Amino acid sequence: MRNLFAQTAEKIFEHQISTALREEADEGIWPEKLWREISESGLTMALVREAAGGVNASFGESFSIALVAGKFAAPVPLVENMIANYFLDQCSIECPAGVTTLSKEVLILAQGNVSGSLADVPFGVKSDYIVSLAQHGHASHLVLLKSSDAVSAKKRLNMAREPRDTLTFDETSPVAIAPLPSHLDGTALLRGGALMRSAQISGALEEITNMTAQYAGEREQFGRPIVKFQAIQQLIAQLAEQSVLAHTSADRAFHDADFNPNSISIPVAKIISSESASLGSALAHSIHGAIGFTHEYSLHFFTRRLWSWRAEFGTATYWADQLGNAACRQGADSIWPAITGHGFAEQI
Amino acid sequence: MLLPQLDYVAIPDEAETLRQQVRDFLTTRISSRSARDQAYSWSGYDPEFSKALGKKRWLGLTIPKKYGGQDMSAYARYVIIEELLAAGAPVAAHWIADRQSAPLILKFGSEEQRLKYIPPICKGESYFCIGMSEPNSGSDLASIRTKAEKNEKGWCLNGQKVWTTGAHNCHYMIALVRTSPPSENRHAGMSQVIIDLNLPGVSIRPIKDIAGDAHFNEVIFEDVQLASDAIIGEEGKGWQQVMAELAFERSGPERFLSSIAVLNTLTDAVGKDANALQRREIGRIIAKTHALRSMSIAITSKLEEGENPTWHASCVKDMGNAFEQEIPEIAQSVLDTEPRIESGNPHAEVLAYLIQTAPSFSLRGGTKEILRGIIARGLGLR
Ligand SMILES: Cc1cc2nc3c(=O)[nH]c(=O)nc-3n(C[C@H](O)[C@H](O)[C@H](O)COP(=O)(O)OP(=O)(O)OC[C@H]3O[C@@H](n4cnc5c(N)ncnc54)[C@H](O)[C@@H]3O)c2cc1C
């Protein structure tokens, strides 16, 4: 049973998202009605405290929202807005109305103004606001920027044709700025994005597992449904395993919701979900045969996202290198306590 | 089809408090063991160590006090066993008795059987082995032929078990045997019996394995006279009982930690100067261990709530075994160390041991094809 928040999300998506809508989004058409329903439902404010006008859902509850967003391949920055608002609220900045996204990059802060380029910003140009970090010396600040204040904006697309834009700022005055609280550091937004992607990947994997099992039950070769072949059953079993592993690991990361620089459950979830995305997509395509390679059949909406999301907010290799580096620096004896506790003694 | 997802459940604090106690105990007790000995993992036999654990009250954790147990949660047991495995402690003597025999006797046994068999298990003094496989029955367990026939004194046992881990060191075997002839229903007519391995007519012959060790055995029964109360649970319900037992057997941390010794020796061998490939692979291994552990803990919560998590246990075992088998291969591929039986280089020795034993990880307790078959059936695909 999904919690109330996820049920709300599921209802909106079921009602609003169709193949036609996904195709329009592929062509760059913004699903205005879908977004309006999402923002009216308060989902983007899930992780914001009630005192600040939010819903005060737990990270555990928010996991299912992000999961469902992935399961429906929702072509809107819901999870970006949700986590951006969380960080704003953590820094006591009021969450603005409109579309807010986040960037993993860090700007330079001087005399209260920020400069630099933000690459790979999800729905950056379409958004009204961007949450990013800005650094002055060693001190990191959270800044809220107006996208329209960018001096240049380049539209870029990932493989799922989701906008991943580059916006450049030059001595821009942020809408709001606040120092990061002590439990967050310069990797917080990267971790926040990675956390969201791990849940979306889990949702998309769940969906392609279901699609694949259903297809294998319908497609007949050699006079029977291909699911009757043991070879196919064994492949679907492996696909299901990947889906469950990614799910539990992402759920764990949300449960821990630990953005500390030495914690590991978010990096783990991103590594695991990214690897499961690779294996799972390959299995689903293999079992679908040629039909899964067509534009007509919907598998690609999910596999193109899986291939994109696994690389965003840190690939499996990026995060594995971070973990491995911490282990090699701190020695073998640091590994088991890191796995069973809250991460490494020192920053990863 | 609805994919049965597994939500994470954290280990409760009262179980977590045991962790440091176990670590402290292990530091004083076994920190001088060589890396090579640690690599034995749950194949390392040391009855003195098992008795010491019994004295610490770290066996029979979930068993009621009445039978010598601790009446604690499945989480408490989880914390203790994962610490033992991570440290490479020699747990083989009591492992099977504590993991599945005691819970099985508690669940299906009579009051007399519980009072007789369980307390010595909790003390680390009584060891059990699993008699399922036979020369002609591996994956197709329902085809077993060993049979127990009713006579005036109880049951007369004839037949042969094979690959029986630890039989040469154990006091008892819990065996799946035929108690009525095969019929239309392949899963009917089987029962579980407790066999005292000292009885006349039982012969045990150790079988040397690929690495030169003798952990498993051939066990032959020739007119072995069992008492009438040798049957555990219901006559004819052996198959169903074995299936319930498998959830305990397949979901634990021993299904993905068998190669942890080489993660440790590799990490120390590459040290601070690790190159990018080594860092990445070590990081991946850490991540996968963390994720499989999350699943395994979530399954423990299902065991704690009395559910039967066979489907998820099959997922953990299949992925965990593949992972345990991959680790020595990774270690070999990222560092130029030639594996050595004996060399004084801990990494070379651990590597040599694990490369040779890794193939067994996905055989013992059920092969990957059988596990994936169970997963597919659970999804309604067959
Ligand atoms: C180290 C070790 C310890 C063990 N300890 C014990 C123990 O204590 N007690 C005990 O009872 N047993 C024990 N076993 C035995 C173990 O349970 C069996 O090895 C296992 O069940 C497989 O049986 P098998 O070896 O006869 O292989 P087989 O069943 O002959 O299988 C050979 C191959 O055929 C495949 N196969 C078989 N049937 C099918 C099918 N229907 N569909 C697709 N593929 C199939 C298998 O997956 C495998 O790849 C142990 C084994 C090992 C290696």
> Closest residue (by CA) to atom 13 of ligand 1?
B163
Looking at the structure, do residues B333 and B294 belong to the same domain, yes or no? yes
Which CATH number do you get for residue B106? 1.10.540.10
CA separation (Å) from B223 to B122, B140, B156? 31, 25, 6
CA separation (Å) from B46 to A109, B66, B253? 63, 27, 20
Boundary of a domain, candidates B99, B126, B153: B126
Looking at the structure, do residues A328 and A261 belong to the same domain, yes or no? yes
Averaged over A201-218, what is the pLDDT?
Answer: 98
Which residue, among A285, A264, A284, has the nearest Cα to A335 in the 3D structure?
A: A264
Containing B327, the helix (H) or strand (E) segment is: helix B310-334
B125 Cα: distance to centroid of ligand 1 (angstroms): 29
A contacts of B312 (beta carbons < 8 Å): 244
Looking at the structure, do residues A86 and A110 belong to the same domain, yes or no? no
- Asked, for residue A40, whether it belongs to a domain, the answer is yes
User: What's the pLDDT at B85?
Assistant: 97
Looking at the structure, do residues B107 and B183 belong to the same domain, yes or no? no
Task: State yes or no: pLDDT of A239 exceeds 60.
Answer: yes
B contacts of A275 (beta carbons < 8 Å): 284
Looking at the structure, do residues B290 and B370 belong to the same domain, yes or no? yes
- Asked, for residue A168, whether it belongs to a domain, the answer is yes
- Asked, for residue A348, whether it belongs to a domain, the answer is no
Cβ separation B279–A328 shorter than 8 A: yes
Domain that holds residue B195: 130-237
In a mutational test of the A interface, the residue from B267, B281, B296 whose CB has the highest number of chain A CBs within 10 Å is: B267
Cβ separation A335–B263 shorter than 8 A: yes
Looking at the structure, do residues A208 and A305 belong to the same domain, yes or no? yes
A contacts of B250 (beta carbons < 8 Å): none
Looking at the structure, do residues B120 and B135 belong to the same domain, yes or no? no
Cβ separation A249–B290 shorter than 8 A: yes
Cβ separation A210–B1 shorter than 8 A: yes
- Asked, for residue B148, whether it belongs to a domain, the answer is yes
Which CATH number do you get for residue B334? 1.20.140.10
Boundary of a domain, candidates B237, B267, B283: B237
Boundary of a domain, candidates A76, A91, A106: A91
Which CATH number do you get for residue A255? 1.20.140.10
Model confidence pTM above 0.95: yes
In a mutational test of the A interface, the residue from B284, B316, B369 whose CB has the highest number of chain A CBs within 10 Å is: B284
Cβ separation A331–B279 shorter than 8 A: no
Predicted-assembly ipTM surpassing the 0.95 threshold: yes
Ligand 1: which atom is nearest the Cα of residue B130? 9
Q: Which residues contact B306 (CB under 8 A, 6 or more apart)?
A: none
A contacts of B382 (beta carbons < 8 Å): 227-228, 233
Residues 284-313 of B with CB under 8 A from A: 284, 286-295, 298, 312
Mutate to test the pocket of ligand 1, among B137, B163, B195, B324 (most ligand atoms within 8 A of CB): B163
Number of domains chain A contains: 3
Looking at the structure, do residues B257 and B373 belong to the same domain, yes or no? yes
Residues 231-250 of A with CB under 8 A from B: 233-234, 236-238, 240-241, 243-245, 247-249
- Asked, for residue B191, whether it belongs to a domain, the answer is yes
Ligand 1: which atom is nearest the Cα of residue B137? 26
- Asked, for residue B3, whether it belongs to a domain, the answer is no
Over chain A, what is the mean pLDDT? 97
- Asked, for residue B8, whether it belongs to a domain, the answer is no
A contacts of B319 (beta carbons < 8 Å): 241, 245
A298 Cα: distance to centroid of ligand 1 (angstroms): 40
Cβ separation A213–B381 shorter than 8 A: yes
Closest CA of chain B from A243, distance in Å: 8
A contacts of B282 (beta carbons < 8 Å): 320, 323-324, 327-328
Containing A220, the helix (H) or strand (E) segment is: strand A220-221
Taking CA–CA distances from B79, the nearest residue in chain A reads: A340
Cα B74 to Cα B72: distance, rounded to the nearest angstrom = 7
Pick from A210, A252, A267: CB nearest B294? A252
Looking at the structure, do residues B326 and B295 belong to the same domain, yes or no? yes
Which CATH number do you get for residue A55? 1.10.540.10
Q: Which residues contact B219 (CB under 8 A, 6 or more apart)?
A: B131, B160, B161, B162, B164, B167, B173, B197, B202, B203, B204, B205
Pick from A214, A272, A340: CB nearest B291? A272
Looking at the structure, do residues A268 and A312 belong to the same domain, yes or no? yes
User: What's the pLDDT at B1?
Assistant: 65
Domain that holds residue A33: 1-91
Q: Hey, what are B375's tokens?
A: 């997963």
Looking at the structure, do residues B261 and B372 belong to the same domain, yes or no? yes
State the helix-helix crossing angle for B260-270 and B276-304, rounded to 10 degrees.
150
Per-residue pLDDT of A126-182, as tens digits, reads: 999 999 999 999 899 999 999 999 999 999 999 999 999 999 999 999 999 999 999
Looking at the structure, do residues B134 and B109 belong to the same domain, yes or no? no
Looking at the structure, do residues B145 and B260 belong to the same domain, yes or no? no
3-state secondary structure of B171: coil
Looking at the structure, do residues A153 and A198 belong to the same domain, yes or no? no
CA separation (Å) from B250 to A183, B96, B325, B367? 39, 12, 16, 11
- Asked, for residue A347, whether it belongs to a domain, the answer is no
Cα A322 to Cα A18: distance, rounded to the nearest angstrom = 39
Looking at the structure, do residues A67 and A87 belong to the same domain, yes or no? yes
Looking at the structure, do residues A224 and A320 belong to the same domain, yes or no? yes
Looking at the structure, do residues A233 and A311 belong to the same domain, yes or no? yes
User: What's the pLDDT at B308?
Assistant: 86
Cα B25 to Cα B14: distance, rounded to the nearest angstrom = 18
Looking at the structure, do residues B102 and B83 belong to the same domain, yes or no? yes
* Exposure on the CB side of residue A343, measured as CA atoms within 13 A: 20
Number of domains chain B contains: 3
Boundary of a domain, candidates B178, B202, B237: B237
**B318 CB near a chain A CB, below 8 Å?**
yes
Looking at the structure, do residues A250 and A269 belong to the same domain, yes or no? yes
- Asked, for residue B153, whether it belongs to a domain, the answer is yes
Looking at the structure, do residues B195 and B280 belong to the same domain, yes or no? no
Ligand 1: which atom is nearest the Cα of residue B96? 8
B contacts of A264 (beta carbons < 8 Å): 286-287, 290
3-state secondary structure of B279: helix
**B336 CB near a chain A CB, below 8 Å?**
no
Ligand 1: which atom is nearest the Cα of residue B131? 11
Looking at the structure, do residues A232 and A313 belong to the same domain, yes or no? yes
Residues 242-271 of B with CB under 8 A from A: 260, 263-265, 267-268, 270-271
Looking at the structure, do residues A166 and A204 belong to the same domain, yes or no? no
User: What's the pLDDT at A196?
Assistant: 98
Ligand 1: which atom is nearest the Cα of residue B209? 1
Residues A204 and B3: beta-carbon distance below 8 Å:
no
**B214 CB near a chain A CB, below 8 Å?**
no
B368 Cα: distance to centroid of ligand 1 (angstroms): 9
Closest CA of chain A from B329, distance in Å: 17
- Asked, for residue A314, whether it belongs to a domain, the answer is yes
Lining ligand 1 with CB less than 6 A are B 129-133, 138-139, 163-165, 216, 360, 363-364, 366-367, 369-370
Per-residue pLDDT of A264-302, as tens digits, reads: 999 999 999 999 999 999 999 999 999 999 999 999 999
- Asked, for residue A172, whether it belongs to a domain, the answer is yes
Boundary of a domain, candidates A91, A116, A142: A91
- Asked, for residue B6, whether it belongs to a domain, the answer is no
In a mutational test of the A interface, the residue from B18, B82, B139, B282 whose CB has the highest number of chain A CBs within 10 Å is: B282
User: What's the pLDDT at A2?
Assistant: 67
Beta bridge partners of B165: B216
- Asked, for residue B328, whether it belongs to a domain, the answer is yes
- DSSP annotation of B134 reads B
- DSSP annotation of A91 reads T
Looking at the structure, do residues A137 and A236 belong to the same domain, yes or no? no
B164 Cα: distance to centroid of ligand 1 (angstroms): 12
Boundary of a domain, candidates A125, A145, A179: A179
How many pairs of residues across A and B have Cβ atoms under 8 Å apart?
169
A238 Cα: distance to centroid of ligand 1 (angstroms): 19
Ligand 1: which atom is nearest the Cα of residue B167? 8
- Asked, for residue B243, whether it belongs to a domain, the answer is no
Residues B154 and B230: beta-carbon distance below 8 Å:
yes
**B283 CB near a chain A CB, below 8 Å?**
yes
Which CATH number do you get for residue B201? 2.40.110.10
Task: State yes or no: pLDDT of A1 exceeds 60.
Answer: no
- Asked, for residue A116, whether it belongs to a domain, the answer is yes
Looking at the structure, do residues B359 and B256 belong to the same domain, yes or no? yes
Closest CA of chain B from A254, distance in Å: 10
Closest CA of chain A from B185, distance in Å: 22
Cα B119 to Cα A166: distance, rounded to the nearest angstrom = 68
Please report, as a single letter, which amino acid is at residue B321: N
- Asked, for residue A264, whether it belongs to a domain, the answer is yes
Cβ separation B284–A216 shorter than 8 A: no
In a mutational test of the A interface, the residue from B5, B20, B27, B300 whose CB has the highest number of chain A CBs within 10 Å is: B5
- Reading chain B (382 residues) residue by residue, the pLDDT tens digits are 679 999 999 999 999 999 999 999 999 999 889 999 999 999 999 999 999 999 999 999 999 999 999 999 999 999 999 999 999 999 999 999 999 999 999 999 999 999 999 999 999 999 999 999 999 999 999 999 999 999 999 999 999 999 999 999 999 999 999 999 999 999 999 999 999 999 999 999 999 999 999 999 999 999 999 999 999 999 999 999 999 888 888 989 999 999 999 999 999 999 999 999 999 999 999 999 999 999 999 999 999 998 889 999 999 999 999 999 999 999 999 999 999 999 999 999 999 999 999 999 999 999 999 999 999 999 999 9
